[in-house]
Amino acid sequence: MKTIHYFFLFAFLMFISPLLLPDYQITLLNYIGLNALVVLGLVLLTGVGGMTSFGQAALVGIGAYTTAYLTATDQLPNYLTLLGGSPWIALIVGIVITVIAALIVGGLTLKLSGHYLPLGTIAWGISLYYFFSTLEGLGGHSGISNIPSISIFGYALDHSNKMFYLIWLIVLLAIVLTKNLLNSREGRAIRALKGGQIMAESMGVNTFRSKLIVFIIASVFASISGWLYAHNQTFINPSPFSLQMGIDYLFMALLGGVGSVWGAILGSGIFTMMRQWLQDYLPMFLGNDGQYETIVFGLLIVALMQKAPMGLWPMIMKIIPKKIKPLDQHIQMKETDQKLTCQAMPNKGDIVLEAKNVTKKFGGLVANNDMSLQVHAGEILALIGPNGAGKSTMFNQLSGVDTPTSGEVIFKGEKINGQYSRKIAQQGMSRTFQHVKILAEMTVLENVAIGGHLRGHQGVFSSLLRLDRVEENILLNEAKLQLERVGLGEYLYAEAGSLALGQQRILEIARALCSDPCVLLLDEPAAGLRLKEKEALAALLLKLKAEGMAILLVEHDMDFVMNLVDRIVVMEFGQKIAEGLPEEIQKNEAVLEAYLGGAA
Ligand code: ADP
Ligand code: MG
């Protein structure tokens, strides 16, 4: 079976369950659905994007209070009367308020890193909660009651069995949208946030924008859940939107498997049911005094997390037999005649990239000292020197990953130091990293497609609605082409993390090529390669050079360098100690002394 068949099977089971199950179980399923919607947002935000949030409950509160206030207040202020009375208008108003709140809150907190981000989410989670409980129009601690039912074309959803369909329709829709987003150009950028931000920026991704996008989507999911909750309950007060509930949502996400969309459903399902059962049955054994269920519940959660630290969904996927696993685990690609446009290469011999007196200090350590070099179109320049000489630091200054303390970097006639690396990438510079920066859980193909980020233009909305498929197919075909070009054509759908280290380096070259660069910076591309692979790499680099590419590489393998490159710059202690043709460098006294040492 394919994933889509499973999806329809699930949808069908949900569709018939109100006909088969007793009312109280449908009520429970409603709660699971409401929670799942919030947790789905967390899967995107925390699982995929790597941003831990304790504050989602407060965003649920925004949706719930907006609709409660607008639909259940008798005397709305004049300027709001037009918006009052209809849950559907209230939904839209709620979403608008949520997006504005997410922009403000996200703008302030998403730039925080490490522990500060979760702390930030706790801070705004608590603030919003107090906001709900103290604002007079919102009913204080007693909240708002008499919230009307939602009607669809005059048909009132006034029973939990009827709300069930709306809730689960929205959950299923949210799953589809989320899946669509994740399998797109924007989605790859989002998936690169966790662990690959420097790389993503070097490939042209605006990582802050990607963070804001997932935050807004997660907030909107939470807000819609609040809207449904308010109309399902017909009354609300601040307590379900407290920090405690924010923590519960995070638990659900971790329990189900924070990295997978279906984990959201599973996590909220198990969490909600377990709590219900414990509340129902535990008092029979332990009596009514003392909140034993909270303690037992906490212990169970801890035990589950010990057994399945990645969550339950990945564990289930591991143990179910191959026969019933969905067949189409990876994206489908069609052949296409359409190609991405390429930038014109500079004329051979032109200076494409130039460092002028670049100095980089890390505190007292001068890692690059007054370094100057030029790379021409159609030339391979090697940067060599002993370990710690400052070569990688130089690469970072050239590619905008870092900014020189003084001096200039000129790319195609323009000063670029101080610019974001994504801006530099846009102008045609691409690089690989000495310590490979790949996304281990993504396929080889998707990793390379990140390199093509700037060559696609489809945004979030077209990704959500799958209007990006034509461009997406072209992008994936380009990634495939680059992989075949570097000799990794047979690994398209392998997990990138499963490749040998040498192959991962080659993958990075394919990713760099996918961005259609005119300058390629390769930091130790041949390390870990076997002889045959080195020969293939050398042949590829020569071909690129013949096409007019400017290539700067750092490499330790002297045979590889001497036979391949046109010129060499030698560094030691952050300084340039020699520059010239390979045969000159081989005879250079200073180089022999400092670098080749006793070997000559
Ligand atoms: P190479 O690539 O030539 O082996 P690097 O450029 O990695 O050398 O390092 C040059 C020197 O700068 C080393 O002494 C290294 O410890 C130091 N260095 C590199 N990056 C940093 C950093 N981010 N902070 C402090 N020191 C650094
Ligand atoms: Mg290095």
Percent of residues, the chain, with pLDDT higher than 70: 98
Taking the CA of 403 as reference, the closest ligand is 1
Check pLDDT > 80 for residue 336.
yes
DSSP 469-537: HHHHHHHHHHHHHHHHHTT-GGGTTSBGGGS-HHHHHHHHHHHHHHT--SEEEEESTTTT--HHHHHHH
| Backbone angles phi and psi of 447, in degrees to 5 | -55, -45
Q: Is 3-9+23-324's fold the same as 349-428+518-530+541-600's?
A: no
From the CA of 548, how far away is ligand 2's center (Å)? 26
Q: Mean pLDDT across the stretch 473-482? A: 95
pLDDT at 351: 94
From the CA of 150, how far away is ligand 1's center (Å)? 62
Nearest to 577 by CA among 390, 363, 407: 390
Label residue 96 by pLDDT band (50, 70, 90): very high
Determine the residue of 358, 393, 522 to mutate for testing ligand 1's pocket, defined as the one with the most ligand atoms within 8 A of the Cβ atom.
Answer: 393
Nearest to 502 by CA among 469, 530, 521: 530
Label residue 104 by pLDDT band (50, 70, 90): very high
Taking the CA of 198 as reference, the closest ligand is 1
Q: Establish whether residue 392 lines the binding site of ligand 1, counting it when its CB lies within 6 angstroms of any ligand atom.
A: yes
Label residue 302 by pLDDT band (50, 70, 90): confident
List the single range of 227-231, 310-314, 383-387 with lowest mean pLDDT. Answer: 310-314
pLDDT at 75: 83
**Each residue's pLDDT tens digit, 191-215:** 999 878 999 999 999 999 999 999 9
CATH of 349-428+518-530+541-600, one of 3.40.50.300, 2.40.50.140, 3.30.110.30, 3.40.50.970: 3.40.50.300
Q: How far apart are CA 389 and CA 576, in angstroms?
A: 9
Say if CB 381 and CB 567 are below 8 A apart: yes
Strands 406-411 and 414-415: antiparallel
pLDDT at 330: 63
From the CA of 584, how far away is ligand 2's center (Å)? 24
Q: For residue 32, what are its two tokens?
A: 């699971």
pTM assigned to the model: 0.91
Q: Establish whether residue 388 lines the binding site of ligand 1, counting it when its CB lies within 6 angstroms of any ligand atom.
A: yes
Domain ranges of the chain: 3-9+23-324, 349-428+518-530+541-600, 438-516
pLDDT at 600: 40
305 vs 311: which has the higher pLDDT: 311
Q: How far apart are CA 228 and CA 236, in angstroms?
A: 11
Q: Establish whether residue 455 lines the binding site of ligand 1, counting it when its CB lies within 6 angstroms of any ligand atom.
A: no
Q: Establish whether residue 461 lines the binding site of ligand 1, counting it when its CB lies within 6 angstroms of any ligand atom.
A: no
pLDDT at 595: 66
pLDDT at 528: 86
Q: Mean pLDDT across the stretch 543-563? A: 92
Q: Mean pLDDT across the stretch 32-47? A: 96
Percent of residues, the chain, with pLDDT higher than 90: 72
- Which helix (H) or strand (E) is 25 found in, with range? helix 23-42
Q: Mean pLDDT across the stretch 365-375? A: 95
CB atoms within 10 A of CB 369: 17
Class of the CATH-defined domain 3-9+23-324: mainly alpha
**Each residue's pLDDT tens digit, 141-191:** 889 999 999 999 989 999 999 999 999 999 999 999 999 999 999 999 999
Q: Which DSSP category does 236 fall into?
A: B
pLDDT at 599: 46
Say if CB 562 and CB 586 are below 8 A apart: yes
Q: Establish whether residue 432 lines the binding site of ligand 1, counting it when its CB lies within 6 angstroms of any ligand atom.
A: no
DSSP 119-156: HHHHHHHHHHHHHHHH-GGGTGGG-B--PPPPEETTEE
User: How many residues are present in the chain?
Assistant: 600
**Each residue's pLDDT tens digit, 486-535:** 999 999 999 999 999 989 999 999 999 999 999 999 999 998 889 999 99
Q: Please identify every residue whose CB atom is under 5 Å from ligand 2, which is an ion.
A: 391-392, 434
Nearest to 202 by CA among 526, 553, 437: 437
Taking the CA of 524 as reference, the closest ligand is 2
Residue 336 C-alpha from the chain's centroid: 28
Q: Mean pLDDT across the stretch 542-548? A: 93
From the CA of 358, how far away is ligand 1's center (Å)? 15
Residue 141 C-alpha from the chain's centroid: 38
Check pLDDT > 50 for residue 598.
no
Q: For residue 408, what are its two tokens?
A: 């200039």
pLDDT at 300: 81
Q: Establish whether residue 367 lines the binding site of ligand 1, counting it when its CB lies within 6 angstroms of any ligand atom.
A: yes
Nearest to 368 by CA among 379, 359, 376: 359
Label residue 597 by pLDDT band (50, 70, 90): low
pLDDT at 63: 97
Check pLDDT > 80 for residue 287.
no
Question: Which ligand 1 atom minimizes the distance to the CA of 363?
Answer: 25
Q: How far apart are CA 343 and CA 204, in angstroms?
A: 15
Q: Mean pLDDT across the stretch 275-288? A: 81
Q: Establish whether residue 390 lines the binding site of ligand 1, counting it when its CB lies within 6 angstroms of any ligand atom.
A: yes
17: Cβ–Cβ under 8 A, 6 or more apart, which residues?
25, 26, 29, 164
Label residue 328 by pLDDT band (50, 70, 90): low
Check pLDDT > 50 for residue 121.
yes
Strands 379-384 and 567-572: parallel
Label residue 342 by pLDDT band (50, 70, 90): confident
Q: Establish whether residue 483 lines the binding site of ligand 1, counting it when its CB lies within 6 angstroms of any ligand atom.
A: no
